[in-house]
Amino acid sequence: MAVKDKLEAVLNVGLRVPSIMLLEVLYRWDVSSFFQKIQRSSLNNNPLFQYKYLALYLHYVGYILSLVLLTLPRQHLVKLYLYVLTALLLFAGHQVSRDYVHSQMVVCTLCSCVMQTKRIWLFSAHLLPLVARLCLVPLETIVFINRFAMIFTGLEVIYFLATNLLVPYNLAKTAYRELVQVVEVYGLLALGMSLWNQLVLPVLFMCFWLVLFALQIYSYFSSRDKPTSRERLLFLFLTSIAECCSTPYSLLGLVFTVSFVALGVLTLCKFYLQGYRAFMNDNTMHRGMTEGITILILAVQTGLIELQVIHRAFLLSIILFVVVASILQSMLEIADPIVLALGASRDKSLWKHFRAVSLCLFLLVFPAYMAYMICQFFHMDFWLLIIISSSILTSLQVLGTLLIYIIFMVEEVRKEPVENMDDVIYYVNGTYRLLEFLVALVVVAYGVSETVFGEWTVMGSTIIFIHSYYNVWLRAQLGWQSFLLRRDAVNKIKSLPTASDLQLEQYNDICAICYQDMKSAVITPCSHFFHAGCLKKWLYVQETCPLCHKPLKSQSQPANATAAPAQDILPANPNPAEAGQGEPVAGAAEGDKTVTHNGVPVEGSQASPSSSPANPDLELEGQAEERALGPQQTDTVDSACLEGQVAGLSQGSGESCLRHRQRQQSASSPAATASTVCAAELQSQLQQSASPCCL
């Protein structure tokens, strides 16, 4: 931003601050009580009392004028201030012309410069009485000349106002036309954002409130001669803030001031941790608006404006404690990922580690000290307990962050990874999460007891309900889901077989997750080797193999084709009892032997070498079908049969596919007389079940 733009921005804010000051004065000024004081003081003949209702109307005109000054464009605002300055100079000219001619000439020159004209005589009417006095004109004539000069100046002012009478109307008409166009094209939201950016309302109200606060401090110290003690300074600080938030406008100024203070503190926190790199990837979440909105909601809810100064200062001290607790929580949200990333990385910069650890120690000690001070100075109630619990939770979170940071640093010193590091971190996080949950339960229990046995309020009940839902119910639900997910992952890991030393030697590879050598590993159903800890971390995210992305199911669940080893064998039937129901397997040995399938005898499977087919036509039909399919299509049918069986089709379909595959294998052996039986059963089964995989 160039210097000219910066000056214009400062000028834009500075010229609008008087409008907020005028609103503040008009809000504090009670016209009715003012005229009642005049009436009680027996000053009914006072001109102000005679024009009482006119003054009342002017009171509301002042509000309109303030809003006009607030919303007027910068160029027209500068012109308006120049006109006001010209009027002030003319008034000064009337005063100065009584004594000095030279000063009158200076005033005329200044007026011509401000009005940007070379006709100085327009502003020289006050010189006439002085010139007449120098010319020894009689006194009566000088009085007449003075009145003429005043009338001439007044006529000039009236002429100027008459020529510019329609300027406000034209400005309002132009502004209305522009507003309608913007609303039609961009909408009301864009219009509001544009006005917000042009008027710079946050900075404007902040400057207004700082001026009020400075005037309040100045008026206090200017009226005292003795030095003030430290306790008195704290009381002065709180009472000055309370005096400067007695109107809605000053309250808005305090809200924006607190927002900017919070933004400055969070920016310093980022700069302390990361240096100038913090401004390169700035987070839009930590803008200080949370603290400003918090103080606005609490002030409106508690009726801060309507209280007396002492009560307002007491309530403001509690509200400021809430704001400080919110700022500390935001600082922790900034520091937590940076500290953990620094501990997990191999950055050996001592200065970075010192900054991170020192900030964590500050966030550990200061909230606890603040909770102690609240307990010392205030009587305990539900609202103060919420503030104390927030401070305690901040300290607990910082303690958990420091413990994890220390664990990371210990692992870095050991120079070798720890396979159960994830379990240790989980236990640390679980411990302080459990403590947070217990603190939230204590707050809810205290709030419920205070509501039941104490004074019941709608706001208190609402806060208890919101606190119970977000800080108790949701935390308990998330913790239980995390526990179930971890337990499921542990069960899956336990159900997987452990690789032996011989298998690891034959595998001779690294873990595909952590890229480290494997001294111990588990084998997935798809025959992939991983560290048990690495695979468990992976299962926290998704239940698939990291390499082939096949679903990983525990042994307690039904078997699936994706869980079978990647070998050229058929998967076992998950229900052995069903395998024996009319499922003969080809390939009977010589003599009378019982054919088994997966170790289960199959009825009616005995066959002799001299046995003949029951139906030769079916055998010929099956052989013709094989010749028609060909070798390539036969393989396709085999794969389709396998997929049909894996997908869990009907029992008849799976059995037909299995018999069809066995018939293909036994067709090349002339001594396999059982193939005819399989072909016959295949034909009958096809007619009954119409298996889509074999057709």
Asked whether residue 114 is domain-assigned, the answer is yes
pLDDT confidence bin for 536, thresholds 50/70/90: confident
588 domain-assigned: no
Has residue 45 been placed in a domain? yes
Report pLDDT for 285. 65
Give residues with Cβ within 8 angstroms of 395, minimum separation 6.
363, 364, 365, 367, 368
Separation between Cα atoms, residue 395 and residue 225, nearest integer Å: 43
Helices vs. strands in the chain: H and E counts, helices first:
27, 4
Contacts of 421 (CB under 8 A, 6+ apart): 407, 411, 533
Residue 26 shares a structural domain with residue 120? yes
Q: Is residue 644 part of a domain?
A: yes
How large a percentage of the chain has pLDDT more than 90? Answer: 8
Confirm if 273 and 359 have CB atoms less than 8 A apart. Answer: yes
Contacts of 17 (CB under 8 A, 6+ apart): 204, 207, 208, 211
47 and 191 in a single domain? The answer is yes
Q: How confident is the model at residue 402 (pLDDT cuts 50, 70, 90)?
A: very high
Asked if residue 562 lies in contact with residue 551, where contact means CB atoms within 8 angstroms, the answer is yes
Angle at 133 between CA 130 and CA 139, to 5 degrees: 120
Average pLDDT over the chain, rounded to whole?
72
What is the structure's pLDDT at 328?
Answer: 92
- The tens digit of pLDDT for each residue in 30-52 reads 766 766 665 555 445 555 555 55
Nearest residue to 404 via CA among 436, 360, 350: 360
Same domain (yes/no): 342, 384: yes
Same structural domain, 183 and 253 = no
Rg over alpha carbons for the chain, rounded to the nearest Å, is: 45
Are the C-beta atoms of residues 291 and 326 closer than 8 Å to each other? yes
Q: Is the pLDDT of residue 521 over 70?
A: yes
Q: Which of 172, 196, 220 is the last residue of a domain?
A: 196
Query: pLDDT digits over 459-487, tens only?
Result: 667 777 777 787 778 878 888 887 887 78
Task: Give the containing element (helix H, strand E) for 24.
Answer: helix 17-28
CA distance 575 to 648: 12
User: Does a structural domain hold residue 406?
Assistant: yes
Question: What pLDDT, on the 0 to 100 scale, is given for residue 55?
Answer: 63
Instruction: Please give the Cα distance from 45 to 35 (Å, whole number).
Output: 12
Q: What is the pLDDT of residue 634?
A: 41
The mean per-residue pLDDT over the stretch 305-317 comes to: 89
In a 13 Å sphere around the CA of 68, the CA atoms on its Cβ side amount to 14
Token pair recorded at residue 689: 């079940």
Which residue range(s) make up the domain with 32?
3-196
Instruction: Specify whether 295 is located in the same domain as 397.
Output: yes
Q: 147 and 182: one domain? A: yes
Choosing from 143, 172, 196, the residue where a domain stops is 196
Confidence class for position 257, pLDDT limits 50, 70, 90: very high
In this prediction, residues 125-135 reach a mean pLDDT of 66
Query: With contact defined as beta carbons under 8 Å apart, do 84 and 31 qualify?
Result: no
pLDDT grade for 571, boundaries at 50, 70 and 90: very low
Identify the burial level of 390 via C-beta atoms within 10 angstroms of its C-beta, where 0-12 means exposed, 13-18 middle and 19 or more buried: buried
Whether 173 and 230 share a structural domain: no
Residues 214 and 360 in one domain: yes
DSSP class of 517: B
pLDDT at site 252: 92
Q: Are both 155 and 241 inside the same structural domain?
A: no
Whole-number pLDDT of residue 166: 87
Verify that 174 and 207 share a domain, yes or no.
Answer: no
Last residue of a domain, one of 153, 168, 196: 196
Q: What is the pLDDT of residues 379-401, one digit of tens each?
A: 877 778 888 888 888 998 899 99
Averaged pLDDT for residues 207-217 = 91
| Residue 96 pLDDT grade (very low, low, confident, very high; cuts 50, 70, 90) | low
511 is catalytic: yes
pLDDT band at 357 (very low <50, low <70, confident <90, very high): very high
Q: What single-letter DSSP state applies at residue 471?
A: I
Quote the CA–CA distance of 687 and 101 in Å, as a whole number: 128
Residue 665 resides in a domain: yes
* Paired tokens of 171: 């400005």
pLDDT band at 666 (very low <50, low <70, confident <90, very high): very low
What is the model's pLDDT at position 650? 36
What confidence tens digit (pLDDT) does each residue in 583-608 have?
333 333 333 433 333 333 333 333 33
Same domain, 255 and 240: yes
- Beta pairing partners, 434: none
Mean pLDDT, range 125-139, rounded to an integer? 67
The total number of structural domains in the chain stands at: 4
| CATH code (residue 515) | 3.30.40.10
Query: pTM of the entire structure?
Result: 0.60
> Which of 690 and 360 is assigned the larger pLDDT?
360
Q: Sorting pLDDT into bands at 50, 70 and 90, what band is 535?
A: confident
Has residue 510 got a pLDDT over 90?
no
Percentage of the chain surpassing pLDDT 70? Answer: 65
Q: Is residue 556 part of a domain?
A: yes
Within-domain flag for 458: no
Which tokens go with 207? Answer: 């400057």
Q: Which of 197-206, 433-442, 629-638 has the lowest mean pLDDT?
A: 629-638
Point out which residues pair with 597 in neighbouring strands: 600
Of residues 108, 244, 511, 657, which has the active-site annotation?
511
Give the 3-state secondary structure percentages of the chain, helix then strand then coil, rounded to 5: 70, 0, 25
Predicted confidence band at 14 (pLDDT cuts at 50, 70, 90)? confident
Residue 149 shares a structural domain with residue 32: yes
What is the mean predicted confidence (pLDDT) over 117-134? Answer: 64
Mean pLDDT, residues 13-39 taken together: 77
